[in-house]
Amino acid sequence: DIVMTQSPDSLAVSLGERATIKCKSSQSVLYRSNNKNGLAWYQQKPGQPPKLLIYWASTRESGVPDRFSGSGSETDFTLTISNLQPEDVAVYYCQQHHTSYTFGQGTRLEIK
């Protein structure tokens, strides 16, 4: 199985600042057939199901604020949240779907 490792496990960022979360896969998740990375980012708040933020590594899901952006390729990916807002407090997960499906362990984001 592909192992997804997120860093850090938790972080605290001031309102209005930028939060950066990393995700590293143990193997490449690049689909050679369409040159897209099978990598998604989710936000989960307590008592709620996860919410899709980014898919194909950098495509923002409909309705997601443009403060959220994804980048990276092959094995190294980044979720960036600009201009941090109070409602961004949550746990964030990366997920790969190139070879079966696996999630990272999650990163807890708090306000400093």
* Residues near another protein, by CB under 8 A: 1, 38, 40, 42, 44, 49-52, 55-56, 61, 93, 95, 97, 100-106
- Closest approach of another protein to the CB of residue 103, in Å: 4
Listed as own residue / partner, the contacts of 32-38 with beta carbons closer than 8 Å and 24 or more positions apart are 37/72, 37/73, 37/74, 37/77, 37/98, 38/96, 38/97, 38/98
Lookup: tokens for 84 = 């941090």
Nearest distance in Å: CB 16, another protein: 29
Minimum CB distance to another protein smaller for 13 or for 64 = 64
Q: Based on CB atoms, which residue is closest to another protein, 59 or 83?
A: 59
Closest contact distance (angstroms) between CB of 83 and another protein is 24
